Structure 1
Amino acid sequence: MKMNAIHWPEGYLPGFTENFCSNEVIAAGLSAEAVWPLLAEPAQWPTYYANSANIRLHGIPGPALAEGARFYFETFGFPVEAQCTEYQPPAGGEPGRIAWHGWAGEGDTRLDVHHAWLVENLEGGRVRVLTQETQKGKPAEALSVAKPNPMINGHQDWLDGLLSAARKGRA
Structure 2
Amino acid sequence: GEKSGLMPSSSWKLKNVHDQWYTGDSLSVCIGQGYLTTTPLQIAAMYMVFANHGTYFQPHIIKNDDIKGVKVDINDKNMKVIRKALWQVVNTRRGTAHKSRMTTEQWEMAGKTGTAQVVKQHLETLKKVADTPRRFRDHAWFAAFAPFTNPEIAIAVLIEHGGHGGSTAAPIARQAVEFYLNKLES
Q: Which is greater in Rg?
A: 2
Common fold: TM-score over 0.5:
no
Q: Which protein has the bigger strand share?
A: 1
Length-normalised TM-score, structure 2: 0.27
